Amino acid sequence: MDNAAAFSIETEQRDGVRRLRLSGRITLADGAPLWSQLGRLIDGEGARPAGAAANGAVARDRLELDVAGVSLLDGGGAALLLAATSNAVEHGRDVRIVGADGEVARLLQLYDCPPGQQCLHPAPRKLTILEQIGTAAVEVARQGRQVLAFTGDLIVGVLQAVRRPRSVHFADLTMLMERAGADGLPIVAVIHFLIGTILGLQGAIQLHRFGADPYLASLVGLSVVRELGPLMTAILVAGRSGASYAAELGTMEVGEEVAALRTLGQDPQRFLVFPRVLALLVVVPLLTAFADLVACLGGMFIAIAELSLSPKTYLRMLQEAVDVSDVMTGLIKSAAFAALIGLVACQRGLSTRGGAQGVGASTTSAVVVVLFGLVALDAVFTLIFRLLGW
C-alpha cells in the first residue's frame, strides 16, 4: 500500500481468475498512484503466484477488480477505474469490475461507457459561410413568425378587452407612460439638440459656399421632421423602454409570475402587453414632436452663431419649408415604431427561458431585433410616402 494513498490493493489467484481487491477511499486526489498501481497489476507485474511462468501466461487469465471493500468513491476515481479496465479490454484482456454496491455501483454506472458505443459527443462541425447565412435567415423567419403570432394574440386580446374593459390592467398605464415619456425627455432633448447642431454645422459649411445661407432651415427642418426625428426617438425609446419591457417580462416569465397570472384566469396579453404597447403609442409621437422642435432649435443656434442669420429669418424659412404633411409623415412613422418596439420587446420577454442568463439573452435579442426592424420599417415608409407623393 502506498503510504500517501488512502487505498490499498491486494491480489489473489484462484481457478484461473486473478482478483485485485481494492479497499479504502478511491478519489481523484490519489489518481496518480491509483493509475500507476492498476497499470502494473493489470499487466501482471508483481502479481504472479509462485511457480507461474514468466512468459505472460498470467496475462491471459481473467482479471477482476473487486471494489466491495471501497468505502468512498468519487467521480474522478470511478472514471479512473473504468478507464483502466477499458484500456485493458482494448489490449485483449478479460477485465471486469465486481463487488460494486450502493453509491459505488451508481457512480460506476454513471461513468461507464459500454463497449462499441460513442460516449463522447463529437466536436461541432464548423459551418460554412452559406450555412451560416441560411441558419441566420431561418432564425429571422422564425422570429418574424413568432412576432406575427404574438401580434395576432394581442389583437384577439384587444377585442376581448373592448368587451371586458375591466380585464385590462389600466392602473399601470400612467406609470408606464411616465417611465417611457417624461423620464426620457432629458436624453431626447440632449440627443436631438446635438443632432440639430450637427446637421446645421455641416449644412452651413456647404450652403455658405453658394450663398444659400437661409436654406439651412429647410435642410435641418425636413431632415429632422421626416426622418431623423422619428427614427432617433424610436431608437432611444427602444434602448430605454424596449429593453426594460423585455427584462421585466422575462424576469416575470422565469419567476413563474406569468404562469400565476394564467392560473388566476388573467390573460398576459391584456394584463401585461396591452398597457405597455398603449403607453408607447401615446408617448412616442409626443416625444417625436418634442424632438423635432428641439432639433430645429439646435439648427437655429448654428444659423445664428455661424451664418449670422436672425431668428426671424430662420423661423420664416422653416415655416415655408416644413408643411403639415411633413410633420404628419413623421408622426405616422413614430406611431408604427412605437407599436413595433412594444410588440417585439414584450414578445421576447414572454418567450424567455433559462433563468437570469435567459433574461439577458432575451433583452439583447429584443434590442437587436427592434433596431433592425426600425430601419427596415423606416425604409418601407419612405418608399410608400414617395409613391404617394407626400
- Of 21, 25, 12, 91, nearest to 56 by C-alpha is 91
Of 88-92, 133-137, 334-338, which gets the smallest average pLDDT?
88-92
Under the banding of pLDDT at 50, 70 and 90, the label for residue 117 is low
Tens of pLDDT, residue by residue over 138-194, are 987 887 788 788 888 778 877 877 777 776 777 888 899 999 999 999 999 999 999
- The helix (H) or strand (E) run that includes residue 23 is strand 17-26
What's the confidence (pLDDT) of residue 178? 92
**Per-residue pLDDT tens for 71-109?**
888 888 888 888 888 777 777 777 888 888 888 888 888
* In the chain, domain spans: 7-111, 130-388
What local confidence, expressed as pLDDT, does residue 53 receive? 41
Confidence of residue 307 (pLDDT cuts 50, 70, 90): confident
Distances in Å between the Cα of 45 and the Cα atoms of 39, 54, 58, 81 are 9, 10, 10, 18
Between these two residues, 337 and 389, which has the higher pLDDT value? Answer: 337
Q: How confident is the model at residue 57 (pLDDT cuts 50, 70, 90)?
A: very low
Distances (CA, A) of 384 to 44, 214, 277, 378, 381: 85, 30, 24, 10, 5
pLDDT 10s digits, 351-374: 888 888 889 999 998 999 899 999
| 37 residue type, one letter | Q
How much of the chain, in percent, has pLDDT values that exceed 70?
92
**Looking at residue 114, what is its pLDDT?**
67
Options 3.40.640.10, 3.30.750.24, 3.10.620.30, 3.60.10.10; which CATH number does 7-111 get? 3.30.750.24
- Per-residue pLDDT tens digits for 150-161: 888 778 877 877
- Rounded to two decimals, the pTM is 0.67
Confidence of residue 116 (pLDDT cuts 50, 70, 90): low
SS3 62: strand
| Burial class for 51, CB neighbours closer than 10 Å (0-12, 13-18, 19+) | exposed
Closest CA to 353 of 254, 260, 263, 286: 254
Question: DSSP letters of 317-364?
Answer: HHHHH--HHHHHHHHHHHHHHHHHHHHHHHHHHHT--SHHHHHHHHHH
Size of the chain, expressed as the number of residues it contains: 390
